[in-house]
């Protein structure tokens, strides 16, 4: 199984439902609360002018109507997770994180 699919399963388990979407198209009807994630960048380390190690960064957004959702706390406890920002759009709360996986 690819690392992205492992992350997908981890996010679904953390959310407690299958409402996890990877790069959803604009027309996708999402069910809330949900998690939307996408690739953002690759963190690399070099030694002796060669690539020593790398890991993929993902932007993970928890979306839902509850501003005090317990899902946010669960995502924060995932390994290599860093909070980024919070915003509200269309009466839905969006909590954005960066996860290296």
The total of structural domains in the chain comes to 1
pTM given for the model: 0.89
Q: Which domain holds residue 7?
A: 3-100
- CATH code: domain of residue 18: 3.30.2000.30
Q: How many helices (H) and strands (E) does the chain have?
A: 2, 5
pLDDT digits (tens, 9 = 90+) for 68-98: 999 999 999 999 999 999 999 999 999 999 9
- pLDDT score of 28 more than 90: no
pLDDT score for 52: 85
pLDDT score of 22: 96
Angstrom distance (rounded) from CA 25 to CA 2: 22
pLDDT at 44 over 90: no
Pair 97, 76: CB distance under 8 Å: yes
């Amino acid at each position: 199984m690819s690392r992205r699919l492992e992350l997908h399963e981890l996010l679904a388990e953390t959310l407690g439902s299958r409402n996890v979407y990877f790069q959803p198209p604009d027309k996708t009807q999402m069910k809330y609360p949900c998690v939307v994630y996408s690739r953002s960048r690759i963190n690399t380390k070099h030694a002796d002018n060669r690539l020593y190690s790398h890991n993929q960064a993902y932007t993970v957004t928890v979306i839902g109507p509850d501003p005090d959702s317990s899902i946010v706390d669960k995502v924060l406890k995932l390994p290599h997770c860093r909070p980024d920002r919070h915003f509200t759009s269309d009466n839905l709360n969006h909590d954005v994180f960066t996860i290296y996986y």
